[in-house]
Amino acid sequence: MAVYKSKGIVLRSIRYGEADRILDLYTRDSGLVSAIAKGIRRTKSRFGGRLEPLSCVDFLAYEGRTLDTVTQVEVLRSFHGVRENLKRLKAAGGMISAVRALSGGDEADRRVFNLLYHALDALESRETDFDAVGSAFALKLSILAGYTPRLDACVSCERDLAEVTGEGPLYFAPPLGGVLCAGCRSPSREAGLVGDSFPLSPDTLAALQDLVVRPIREVAVEDGLEESVRRVVSAHVLAHAPGNASFAAPDRRTLRPA
Instruction: Choose between 182 and 255: whose C-beta lies nearer to Zn ion.
Output: 182
Q: Which stretch binds Zn ion (CB under 5 A): 17-25, 65-73, 174-182, 210-218?
A: 174-182
Nearest approach, Cβ of residue 187 and Zn ion (Å): 9
Q: Which element (helix H / strand E) includes 97? A: helix 86-102
Q: Give yes or no for residue 184 binding Zn ion (CB under 5 A).
A: yes
Choice between 64 and 195, CB closer to Zn ion? 195
* Interaction of residue 157 with Zn ion, rule CB under 5 A: yes
Taking each helix axis from N to C terminus, what angle separates 130-144 and 110-125, rounded to the nearest 10 degrees? 170
Q: What is the largest distance, in Å, between two alpha-carbon atoms of the chain?
A: 69
Stretch that binds Zn ion, among 101-109, 155-163, 186-194, 210-218 (CB under 5 A): 155-163
181 binds Zn ion (CB under 5 A): yes
What x/- string results for residues 97 through 136 when contact with Zn ion is judged by CB under 5 A?
A: ----------------------------------------
> Is residue 61 a contact residue for Zn ion (CB under 5 A)?
no
154 touches Zn ion by CB under 5 A: yes
* 233 part of the interface to Zn ion, by CB under 5 A: no
CA distance 207 to 165: 16
**234 binds Zn ion per the rule CB under 5 A:** no
**What 8-state DSSP symbol labels residue 155?**
T
Residues ≥6 apart with Cβ < 8 Å to 241: 101, 102
Strand blocks (E) in the chain = 3-16, 20-27, 31-37, 56-62, 68-77, 170-173, 178-180, 198-200
For residue 46, how far is the Cα from the chain centroid? 31
Asked if 179 is part of the footprint of Zn ion (rule: CB under 5 A), the reply reads: no
How many residues interact with Zn ion (rule CB under 5 A)? 5
Task: Determine contact, residues 30/4, Cβ cutoff 8 Å.
Answer: yes
For residues 203-212, one letter each, b for 16 or more C-beta atoms within 10 angstroms of the residue's C-beta and e for the rest, the string is ebbebbebbb
Q: How many CB atoms lie within 10 A of CB 250?
A: 8
- Closer to Zn ion at the Cβ: 192 or 224? 192
147: helix, strand or coil: coil
Based on the shown chain and the rule CB under 5 A, indicate whether residue 188 belongs to the binding site for Zn ion. Answer: no
Of residues 135 and 156, the one with the C-beta less far from Zn ion: 156
Question: In angstroms, what is the minimal distance from the CB of 164 to Zn ion?
Answer: 6
> Which of 103, 156, 188, 204 touches Zn ion (CB under 5 A)?
156
**Shorter beta-carbon distance to Zn ion: residue 45 or 165:** 165
Contact footprint for Zn ion (CB under 5 A):
154, 156-157, 181, 184
